[in-house]
Amino acid sequence: MSRQYGGVLRPRGLENAAAGTFHIPSLTLPNLVFEQPAISILLPVALGTVVGYANRPKDTQNFYLEIKQPPLRPPPWLFGPVWTALYAGMGYASWRAWSTGISSFDPQKVLLAKEGATLYTIQLGLNLLWMPLFFGYKRPIEATVDIVALTGVTGYLTYIWGQVDEVASWCMVPYMGWLGFATYLCVGAGYLNDWNFSDKIRPVSQKKE
């Protein structure tokens, strides 16, 4: 299907691109996730918890304490509560932006809500990937690339949601601030350890010997 613009026929896909949309259904969580506030809030919290425990908290804490870190390093216990709050906040923001945008009589807001759903899914995937890269595989370069991309996508998502629902956008501000701080910690740790974590930590079992 094509539509005529100024005497030029454009395929419908290009028409959507021209409208500024970035909605990719195959890269977007199901609509149900965004339609139900409880699911919107609990899903990122649950996924973050699973990833955290999958990376063996004791090994993660020991690794975090033994590698060289830049100034202002937070204590390990702080990350759990902070990330729980941030995951809940981003989940609530996703519900607000979706419900406000999809129900709007403004077609541009509807498109932006769909675009935001795709961007939200992508940033959540990048978010969940960082911990295995940094703590599991001990790949500081890849982890840095991931968190820089995550911060960029989240920044654009915050901007998109700001055009749909101001509250949703403001809910992302603490998350953006923490991502900036986390990027500093990630880059600092990589630099101070010569971008090589492979020999920085012994397994917990060896520490007890």
pLDDT in tens, 153-184: 999 999 999 999 999 999 999 999 999 999 99
Q: For the segment 62-90, what is each residue's pLDDT rounded down to a tens digit? A: 999 999 999 999 999 999 999 999 999 99
Q: Give the tokens for residue 171.
A: 């809910």
Within 67-172, where are the H helices?
79-102, 107-131, 140-162, 166-171
Question: How far is the CA of 35 from the CAs of 41, 77, 88, 162, 167, in angstroms?
Answer: 11, 33, 15, 19, 17
- Model confidence pLDDT, tens digit, residues 101-128: 999 999 999 999 999 999 999 999 999 9
| CA–CA dist 111, 120 (Å, integer) | 14
Say how far apart CA 147 and CA 142 lie, in whole Å: 9
Domain-located, residue 12 = no
Helix (H/G/I), strand (E/B), else coil: 172 = coil
CA distance 155 to 152: 5
Domain presence at residue 14: no
**What per-residue confidence (pLDDT) applies to 203?**
52
Query: Which residues does 87 contact at the CB level (< 8 Å), separation at least 6?
Result: 44, 45, 47, 48
Residue 7 is assigned to a structural domain of this protein: no
The 3-state DSSP composition of the chain as helix, strand, coil percent (nearest 5) reads: 75, 5, 25
Q: What angle do CA 41, 177, 133 make, to 5 degrees?
A: 75
Q: For the whole model, what pTM was predicted?
A: 0.86
The answer to whether position 190 is within a domain reads: yes
Flag whether 11 is in a domain: no
Q: How many domains does the chain have?
A: 1
Res 199: pLDDT: 72
The reported pLDDT for the residue numbered 201 is 56
Residue 3 maps to a domain: no
The answer to whether residues 128 and 47 touch, using CB atoms and an 8 Å cutoff, is yes
User: Which CATH number do you get for residue 44?
Assistant: 1.20.1260.100
Domain boundaries, position 34: 22-207
Return the structure tokens found at 159.
């901007």
**Cβ atoms within 10 Å of 37's Cβ, excluding its own:** 14
Q: Which residues contact 202 (CB under 8 A, 6 or more apart)?
A: none
Q: pLDDT above 70 covers what percent of the chain?
A: 85
In a domain, 5, yes or no: no
Residue 128 lies in a domain: yes
